[in-house]
Amino acid sequence: MSSAVSLSSAEAILAAATELKLRRLAAMPPALVPPRKTKKVHKTARRFRCSLRIPESEYRQLIKLKKRLARRGVSSKKGQLVRAGLLLLGHIDLIDLKVAIRNVIAPEPALYKVK
């Protein structure tokens, strides 16, 4: 009979210990949850859609360049070619850049129709 009594007293002790833990937890202020370490997500550059008006002659040059690259096994899109040109313009001297801008701004005689 002592084993039955000790078994029930062991259960009573275990139940009392569990009840005591629950009371202590209820009396304590909520624990601050440490912030989770999140993986750093590398954001890609945000892309914007933009339409660009260029003269037909420059558009033809863009297409010729695209075809020339395709013959060499490099597939490209018109937007990629424009972006590559911007990268190249970012690395040239200021004097050369001014000359290139003047050449673009200067009116071409073929663009204007004489009435």
pLDDT digits (tens, 9 = 90+) for 24-47: 777 766 666 666 777 776 677 787
pLDDT at residue 6 above 70? Answer: no
26 vs 63, which has greater pLDDT? 63
- Taking the CB of residue 111, how many other CB atoms lie within 10 A of it? 9
- Taking the CB of residue 43, how many other CB atoms lie within 10 A of it? 6
CA-CA distance, 86 to 50, in Å (whole number)?
15
pLDDT of residue 114: 57
| Pick from 49, 82, 50: nearest CA to 65 | 82
* This prediction's pTM: 0.49
pLDDT at residue 104 above 90? Answer: no
CA-CA distance, 65 to 85, in Å (whole number)?
12
